[in-house]
Amino acid sequence: MPLIGEEIQGNFYGDGQTSIATVKRVKIGKGNPVEDGTADEYEVQFSDKKLKSISSGCCEIRLINEGDLNNDGADEISIFQAPMNGCTYAMTTYSFIKGAWTKIINTFLIPTGCEYMSDEDLQKRIFIDNSMVYFLDTDMADEEVKLIKKLATIE
């Protein structure tokens, strides 16, 4: 099973057991949400019932198993989520801490230019270097839209 997609696996609880995380649409929207309609709603559900669902609202999602970023013995999970309108996606990273999903890296935006972002490029966005966690942010002031390595604040 892949580490990126609408269904991934990992040791998200930290007990050494593999569980499956799956994106589920829990509410079907009506009409155009930009014009007074309502958007679809999504959540991430887990095969291990000890893991609560992550409610993520609108819109489509790809999941990324980030591995153990905070050295707690459990894999962290990132949600790469489409916007309601436009081409700038959001990336949010969570860890299951004391029975609840906790955001451990502040959400950052990823402009895609409406192009598909490969699994390989998504996997590279958050990484560990010399025991520190970093993410690649987009420099919108640079006309080549270069990526900048930034230290992630693990909460």
The sign of the CA dihedral 21, 56, 83, 74 is negative
pLDDT in tens, 44-60: 999 999 999 999 988 88
Write the CA distances from 24 to 14, 36, 146, 151, integer angstroms: 23, 24, 33, 31
Write the CA distances from 104 to 65, 75, 100, 136, 146, integer angstroms: 14, 12, 12, 16, 25
pLDDT in tens, 68-121: 999 999 999 999 999 988 899 999 999 999 999 999 998 999 999 889 999 999
This prediction has a pTM of 0.89
Indicate the pLDDT class of residue 16, thresholds 50, 70 and 90.
Answer: very high
pLDDT at 32: 73
Distance CA 97, CA 69 (A): 13
SS (H, E, C) 107-150: EEEEECCCCCCCHHHHHCCEEEECCEEEEEEECCCCCCCCEEEE
Indicate the pLDDT class of residue 155, thresholds 50, 70 and 90.
Answer: low
